[in-house]
Homo-oligomer: A and B are copies of this chain.
């Protein structure tokens, strides 16, 4: 199963990313332990922290990079898309089975909505800040992002709950 992880880009030694390092480590760890593949945007911030955790736990990472960028040092397969930051996000989203969102500014918001439009289930890490929390204020019936009810958006409160839900999605997909 391909697990997409999205969230803040930026310097990993500064907040808000710094404070999310432990969460990112755990997300990367369970991805590697379950032999899922991490698919992300290949750059800094949350992408870098989760990628590193996946690699340190023996897992695999594919990073979809904007333009001709090289990516952080934790990618098994850095994919140069030749597309700008936003357009490359949609190629990334086509190649995941589920999306996990951690904090995030406008790019993350675009990815949350994009995942929904492609009917990919979205798991929001509760209290991770930014658009991951903000989007919950505008959910229709507490779980949808528009009236077409394409797929469910769900808040997740702990790493154990995240692992349990991901395992459930994997089972359904098989």
Chain A interface residues (CB < 8 Å from chain B):
37, 62, 68, 77, 79-87, 90-91, 94-95, 105-107, 109-110, 113-114, 116-118, 130-131, 134-135, 137-138, 145-148, 150
Contact = CB atoms under 8 A, between A and B. Distances in A.
Q: Which of A84, A107, A135 has the most CB of B within 10 A?
A: A84
B86 A90 contact: yes
Contacts of A116: 106
6 contacts: A62-B77, A77-B77, A82-B83, A105-B148, A109-B113, A109-B146
Contacts of A62: 77
A146 B117 contact: no
Contacts of A147: 105, 130
A166 B80 CA distance: 22
Contacts of A138: 134-135, 137-138
Nearest to A64: B79
Nearest to A134: B138
A77 B60 CA distance: 11
A10 to B, nearest CB: 10
Report copies per complex.
Answer: 4
Given A106-B146, A106-B150, A138-B134, A82 B90 contact: yes
Pick the most buried of A84, A86, A117: most chain B CB atoms within 10 A of its CB: A86
A94 B138 CA distance: 27
B94 A80 contact: yes
Nearest to A136: B138
A31 B114 CA distance: 30
Contact of A145 (B37, B86, B109): B109
